[in-house]
Amino acid sequence: MTEETKDKGNKTVLVTGASGFIALRCVLQLLEQGYCVRGTIRNLSREPEIRRALAKHVEIGDRLEITEADLTSDNGWADAVRGCTYVLHVASPFPNYTPKTDEELVVPAREGTLRVLRAAADAGVSRVVLTSSMAAIAYGHSDADTQVFDESQWSVAENCPPYHKSKTIAERAAWEFVEALPEDVPMELSVIAPGAI
């Protein structure tokens, strides 16, 4: 075992929404790289399913812990981040139906992101990586067909469908939260904005 691998084994990474497609892949890669991982799910009944999926690809040992936490509640988040060096905030509502109102997605996306960030800051997490989306960048613009977009731009939330609006509002709230942190809370935020998956 290399010194680098030993060092990773002393660090715990929280991955939110660990049963989701992207998050499960993140958990797998972290375990493969030697990290300890704590994953959040809304219902612990899914834990055996997660362990079975991962065990096909990596030796889990005692390096994986699954805990219950929901984006719509404060319960569980302080415990989830306790002792973690990093957080990958992947969880976000992504329904397979058209929501009745935008708020069905916007509220849990925004409030859930802020819950995770507050808990991470309180626990002394050094870096949070937020999975955003190109939905937060390239939508709702009148000239979208002719414009080249990058991470410096925002989707026009009021012109967006609910999911795109939720990702835009949640990411903006994350940046505002981190920028408002006191200087003695040096938590970093990194954001990735994948395209369609």
pLDDT in tens, 95-119: 888 889 999 999 999 999 999 999 9
- The pTM (predicted TM-score) of the whole model is 0.92
- Per the listing, tokens 């994953």 go with 39
Q: Where does the pLDDT of residue 68 fall: very low under 50, low under 70, confident under 90, or very high at 90 and above?
A: very high
* Pairing label, strands 64-68, 36-41: parallel
Q: Domains of the chain, with CATH numbers?
A: 3-192 (3.40.50.720)
Distance CA 81, CA 65 (A): 12
* Interval 143-190: pLDDT, tens: 777 788 888 899 999 999 999 999 999 999 999 999 999 999 989 999
Between 71 and 197, whose confidence is greater?
71
Residue 4 has pLDDT above 80, yes or no: no
* Interval 120-131: pLDDT, tens: 999 999 999 999
Predicted local confidence at residue 143, as pLDDT: 79
Q: Return the amino acid letter for 37.
A: V
Q: What is the mean pLDDT of residues 132-139?
A: 92
Distance CA 92, CA 109 (A): 5
Instruction: Count CB atoms within 10 A of the CB of residue 77.
Output: 25
